Structure 1
Amino acid sequence: MRRIILASASPRRRELLKQLIGDNFVVYPSSYEEPPQPGLGPEELLLKHSVEKARDVAKHFCSGLVISADTSVLYEGEVLGKPGSPENAEKILEKLSGKKFRVITGLTVLDLDSGKGISELESTNVWLAELSKDQISAYVRTGEPLDKAGAFAAQGKGAVLVEKVEGDFFNAVGLPLFRLGKILERLGVSVFDEGFS
């Protein structure tokens, strides 16, 4: 069975990958800093970050498959990353209240044995419910939005804020499982192999 390396410290990505292949992977977070890249659009930037994260982790392994992802929320051409503070989280949620936006993930899988790499984008449309100031404040007080792109977690308490999802729900959580499964297949790995049960 191939060694799978997840280049992310995200507990959400860890849980999603576990759902797909069980505990058959190691977690090795990337130390790539995601510097600004003038001239790159949001999609290009997410792809670049996912590639660089994978390359950064690949340096520490001789064989296996490195999986990395970079997810952001895109609203009216603006990238909404992690708020980092309660004040910023409230501003982002006020902006997204009652609106449709896109959750975009740049996904990269590097096959260290063959030298092949595949990078693709996944986009999911999300509609947030109309939120009152009290609802926003109460949600921000839970602390959940502070380290989430777009200041909400579709798989956590934030699930009650999400009115509708069009596309890959798992992408809205941070790891597009359908696309990942297809990429792994193209690299000769099936999630249905006995070793992944």
Structure 2
Amino acid sequence: MSNLNIILASGSESRRKLLAGAGIDAVCIKPNVDEDVAKVSFRAEKMRVSDQAMRLAEMKAVKVSQKHGGLVIGGDQMLNLDGEAMDKPVDLADAANHLRQFSGKAHKLETAIVIAEDGVPVWRHLVAPTLTVRPLTEDFIAAYLEAAGPQILNTVGAYMLEGIGAQLFSRIEGDYFSILGLPLLPLLDYLRVRGVITS
């Protein structure tokens, strides 16, 4: 289906599964970008959350592209609550605090994707689905975290929409694939235009 080596600059199982499900055979290579250091710098510059996500996606794509060649897909997703970036919870207690902050509010998932070739970004896309969390009781938060388990700490919002995390929301506006971390439909459109996959 593809005439060019496609690399996913990510260790994200969710992104890998989305590509594989769409018939895209991508090699996964972790970019080893120090995201924590980058975020400190971005936030010191008071960079918008969407711009932080885009910069991280670009850093990942470019770094892997410089080393491995091919067409490299880099992605990043940041949770934007009232204009502030929130990071992945460090433990279940932190996850509970996240959920208390989300309760009864809407937040955005700033979801960025960048494609790089020969170490140069050639395509960018940003989308920001909006998710509204219903009011959550303390009993629900405790039961939810017990059911979800420690794997929830791998997600920026302490939820996995494709599972029990669906119970958190009263409204979702945006593309399902993007919420899972990859704007798949625009990516497939670009790959068809580029001639990487059959149109």
TM-score by length of 1: 0.88
Ranges in structure 1 where 5+ consecutive residues have no aligned partner? none
Structure 2 match to 1:6: 8
Distance 2:74 2:163 in 1: 22
Alignment-mate amino acid for residue 26 of structure 2: F
Whether the 8 Å CA contact 2:98–2:158 is kept in 1: the answer is yes
Decide whether the 8 Å contact of 1:144 with 1:152 is kept in 2: no
Partner of 1:17: 19
Q: Give the superposition deviation at 1:175.
A: 0.8
**CA shift for structure 1 position 121:** 1.0
Q: How does 1:1-197 map to 2 (within 5 A)?
A: 1-22=3-24, 24-34=25-35, 35=38, 36=40, 37=42, 38-39=44-45, 40-62=47-69, 64-112=70-118, 117-141=122-146, 142-190=149-197, 192=198
CA distance in 2, matches of 1:116, 1:10: 20
Contact kept? 1:140, 1:146, Cα under 8 Å: no
Encode CA deviations 1:117-147: one digit per residue, 9 max, x unaligned: 1122111011122221122112223223212
Whole-Å separation in 2 of the counterparts to 1:148 and 1:131 = 19
Among all aligned residue pairs of Structure 1 and Structure 2, give the percentage whose two residues are the same amino acid: 29
Contact kept, 8 Å, 2:61 with 2:121, in 1: the verdict is no
2: CA distance between counterparts of 1:126 and 1:183? 26
Shift of 1:48: 0.7
Counterpart of 1:8, as a letter, is S
Aligned equivalents of 1:65, 1:163: Cα separation in 2: 38
Q: Deviations over 1:57-107 (max 9, x none)?
A: 112213x21011110111111111201111111011011112211111111
Q: Is the 8 A contact 1:98 1:127 kept in 2?
A: yes
Query: What is the rounded CA distance, in whole Å, between the counterparts of 2:110 and 2:32 in structure 1?
Result: 21
Q: 1:133 to 1:144 in 2, by over 3 A?
A: farther
Deviations 1:22-44 (A, max 9, x none): 4x111101100122223221111
RMSD: 1.8
What is the aligned length? 189
CA shift in 2, pair 1:103/1:127, >3 Å: same
Aligned partner letter, 1:159: A
